[in-house]
Amino acid sequence: MDHREPKSTGKLPLLAYFLLFCYICIAFVTAWFSSDQNRIALQIREDVKNQKNQLTNEIRRLQLEEARLTSAERIHAFARELQMVPPSPPVRDLEE
Give the list of residues 6+ apart from residue 68 with CB closer than 8 angstroms, or none: 74
Residue 63 structural domain: 49-83
- Give dist(CA 24, CA 57) in Å, integer: 49
- Count how many domains the chain has: 1
For the ranges 10-14, 65-69, 71-75, 85-89, the lowest mean pLDDT is seen at 10-14
Domain assignment present for 65 = yes
- The pLDDT assigned to 53 comes to 97
Domain assignment present for 66 = yes
pLDDT digit string (tens) for 1-39?
Answer: 556 665 655 567 888 899 999 999 999 988 888 888 888
pTM above 0.75, yes or no: no
- Give dist(CA 65, CA 67) in Å, integer: 5
Residue range 67-84: mean pLDDT, rounded: 87
How many angstroms separate the Cα of 50 from the Cα of each of 29, 47, 90? 32, 5, 55
Residue range 82-94: mean pLDDT, rounded: 77
Domain assignment present for 69 = yes
Whether the CB-CB separation of 68 and 74 falls below 8 Å is answered with yes
Domain assignment present for 57 = yes
Domain assignment present for 43 = no
Domain assignment present for 41 = no
Domain assignment present for 63 = yes
